[in-house]
Copies of this chain bind each other. A is one copy, B any other.
Amino acid sequence: MNDFTYLNPTKIIFGKNTDPQIGSECAKYGKTLIVYGGGSAERSGLLGRVRKSLSDAGCEYTEIGGVKPNPRLDFVYKCIDIIRREDVKLILAVGGGSVIDTAKAASTGALYDGDVWDFFMKKASPTAHLPVGTVLTIPAAGSESSPSSVITKEDTNDKRGCSTPMHYPVFSVINPENTYGLSAYQLGCGASDMLAHLMERYFVNTACCDVTDRLIEGTARSIIKYAPKTIAEPDNYDYRAEILLAGTIAHNGSLDIGRGGDWACHQIEHQLSAYYDIAHGAGLAVIFPAWMEYVSRKNPAKLIQFGRRVFDISAADESIMISLLIRHMREFYASIGMPSTLTELGIGTEIFSEMADKACACKNYNLGSYLHLDPADVEEIYRLAL
């Protein structure tokens, strides 16, 4: 087990009666910038409840809507302008990962003299930030209690992450009822993303990390059980609560203490969503089985343990265990409406080489810890996913 330091400072306010607490949390900081995405938060009545809660708490606010999936740098700049112009004290993200990641980027960018993109290109590190609060509407990214933000620079198709303790939200209101408006496809993409967050942490070569192995396996089992149920019974509060809780735990850092993570599949997928603007969860559902197939040739041990403990697979032969694992993974993805090939997503071989190089470049050609991957390996994984 590796040495580690762990502290997650995000206050999680979870449950069906939590919306009225939003205002009093914001009022602790002062003038609030509400950031949101499309019209769904307005139509569902959530934004109305958020505004009322802030007004009731005597908290001044301004707002900006229009964050898009795979959130863009240009929109971050817009938020930074408002924050500076209106002397905002807290950014309240009402939405999913894209909205939250936008708020996080703006929270450090607003207090930086240079270009916020410097943080994503590792040219500078943030030294000051505004607090961010969140009201979660899409269970997926885990950004509501993580230190990460992922932003896309549209003109160069660069999708890059920046992780800093300054990005932890100060509070996150997670009310499963605020996710009732999601489509089956959005729920499927979310579950795929959560499971990926668990697997990225699971597949490491760290010796003796049994406790966290078990915690990851348990959370994965819950997602595999409750994601299809949530899609089948979208009004079932308890199923949805399991999924929301699992999604937050999957990415709050508590499951990678003492072990680290792999994160190759995330980089490999990020290129797909940067170039083709597909949903991150859909891309992950296609990439993960291909990655498993590819890395199993050189490092099958942890894959076999995952198959045995999460899917109750049992076979004497290693290669049969791998085949059964991949089959179970594909069956799970199918059960939540995810695609199984790049072809289904309309993606061909045209820019595999460019994307493979970019996936590796994002990590300074140090991609993957379970198995190191160079651009030729990544290209092969794209091919396996066709």
Given contacts A14-B3, A16-B3, A254-B254, contact A210 B9 (CB under 8 A): no
Whether B9 lies near A14 (C-beta < 8 A) is no
A364 contacts partner chain B, Cβ-Cβ < 8 Å: no
Q: Smallest Cβ distance from A77 to chain B, in angstroms?
A: 32
Contact of A3 among B2, B8, B15 (CB under 8 A): B15
Q: How far is the CA of A218 from the CA of B213 in the complex (A)?
A: 8
Chain B residue at minimal CB-CB distance from A247: B211
Identify which of residues 209-233 in chain A touch chain B, using a CB-to-CB cut-off of 8 Å: 210-215, 217-219, 221-222, 225-226
Contact with B along A9-26 (1 / 0, CB 8 A): 111111111100000000
List the one stretch of A56-64, A117-125, A235-243 in contact with chain B. Answer: A235-243
Whether B208 lies near A219 (C-beta < 8 A) is no
A245 contacts partner chain B, Cβ-Cβ < 8 Å: yes
Contact of A14 among B6, B8, B16, B254 (CB under 8 A): B6
Chain B residue at minimal CB-CB distance from A208: B238
Q: Smallest Cβ distance from A183 to chain B, in angstroms?
A: 23
A156 contacts partner chain B, Cβ-Cβ < 8 Å: no
Q: Smallest Cβ distance from A311 to chain B, in angstroms?
A: 14
A284 contacts partner chain B, Cβ-Cβ < 8 Å: no
Q: How far is the CA of A14 from the CA of B212 in the complex (A)?
A: 14
Q: How far is the CA of A4 from the CA of B254 in the complex (A)?
A: 18
Contact with B along A190-207 (1 / 0, CB 8 A): 000000000000000001
Q: Smallest Cβ distance from A131 to chain B, in angstroms?
A: 14
Interface residues on A, range: 35 or more
**Contacting residues, chain B, for A210 (C-beta < 8 A):** 222, 225-226, 242
Whether B258 lies near A245 (C-beta < 8 A) is yes
Chain B residue at minimal CB-CB distance from A214: B218
Q: How far is the CA of A217 from the CA of B218 in the complex (A)?
A: 8
A257 contacts partner chain B, Cβ-Cβ < 8 Å: yes
Whether B12 lies near A242 (C-beta < 8 A) is no
A7 contacts partner chain B, Cβ-Cβ < 8 Å: yes
Whether A211 lies near B219 (C-beta < 8 A) is yes
A315 contacts partner chain B, Cβ-Cβ < 8 Å: no
A88 contacts partner chain B, Cβ-Cβ < 8 Å: no
Whether A1 lies near B241 (C-beta < 8 A) is yes
Q: How far is the CA of A17 from the CA of B212 in the complex (A)?
A: 20
Whether A11 lies near B3 (C-beta < 8 A) is no
Q: How far is the CA of A9 from the CA of B1 in the complex (A)?
A: 23
Whether A211 lies near B2 (C-beta < 8 A) is no
Whether B16 lies near A238 (C-beta < 8 A) is no
**Contacting residues, chain B, for A212 (C-beta < 8 A):** 245
7 additional A-B residue pairs with CB within 8 Å, beyond A1-B15, A1-B245, A2-B15:
A3-B15, A3-B16, A7-B10, A14-B258, A208-B242, A214-B219, A217-B218
18 contacts between A and B (CB under 8 A): A1-B15, A1-B242, A3-B16, A3-B18, A4-B12, A5-B13, A5-B14, A6-B12, A6-B14, A9-B9, A210-B226, A211-B218, A211-B249, A214-B219, A215-B215, A241-B258, A245-B257, A254-B254
